[in-house]
Chains A and B, each alone.
Chain A
Amino acid sequence: MKFLRMRPGHGEVLLTEGDPEVREDEERLIEEFRRQLDEGMWAAVPTHAPGSGRRQAVMIHDYDEIPSDADRVIFFPRASGG
């Protein structure tokens, strides 16, 4: 699984990647996930809507909410009124 983050003026960057089944990797992923949320990021996993060709995102608030088949989590700055 990859953790990507949108960066102003840069596009996405790879924060970290690892196999959640491997304990060391999972600890690193959890730590990075928390750090990103602490920095004010939102996290989402792009996915297919069940039963249709439609795509959608699932917003992730906690590491445990990441779908087991997700291959990436995208972090992006929290929305604010413009």
Chain B
Amino acid sequence: MLFTVLALTLVALALAMPTLWRELSAVRHRRAKSAKRRERRAIADPGRERRAEQRARELLRSCVNDEEWAMYRDLGFIRVRGSTPGYAYLVYPHKPVVAYMPESGRLLNEYCVEFPDMSGAIAGSRLPDSDDVLAKWMALTGDERRLIRTANMHLPGRQVDPGRVRRDLWRLAQWERQRSSARS
């Protein structure tokens, strides 16, 4: 009797195997598909970064003066004058702050600094470009010494091409000339 029950169970299992296998594969397939969909949704929201940058630009614009805003809009960086006379910084998004002497155009140092948000789920991603510039601007104009102390100081050319900085200084001089002639 026991033998018959066992035999019948085995036969039933063998008969059900293809159906079970199909169900299992379908579940696996559905899971993989939804994981892919989630992944695609996380990666492909091209508007998200653009909206973030747009918000950041508005915030930056509301904090800096008209000249600094126009400089950033037209040239892609902001010049911040140092507390020491004859000393200034170029503030680029997500690049080191470059210290130079406006009189001679001599490049002095690169100050490598970043603003990592270590809280919770957003650790690892970075601030929008204009927020990064605003953070540097606030830290430089609010407490220049602390920012400089915090940053890693290097000679010019470590991360930012000195040729590019010199071109930017030339562009800045041209830009200022054009603005002052347009005003007068």
Interface residues of A (CB under 8 A from B): 4, 6-12, 39-40, 42, 44, 46, 53-59, 74, 76-82
Contacts and interface: CB of A to CB of B under 8 A. Distances in A.
B137 A8 contact: no
8 contacts: A6-B59, A6-B127, A11-B53, A11-B56, A39-B119, A79-B113, A82-B151, A82-B152
Which range holds the interface residue count of chain B?
35 or more
Contacts of A12: 55-56, 59, 131
B112 A6 contact: no
A61 to B, nearest CB: 10
Interface in B40-69: 48-49, 51-56, 59, 62-65, 68
Contacts of A58: 142
B16 interface: no
Interface of B: 48-49, 51-56, 59, 62-65, 68, 96, 112-119, 122, 125-128, 131, 134-135, 137-139, 141-143, 146-147, 150-152
Nearest to A5: B117
A74 B96 contact: no
A40 B122 CA distance: 14
Nearest to B122: A8
A80 B120 CA distance: 18
A52 B173 CA distance: 22
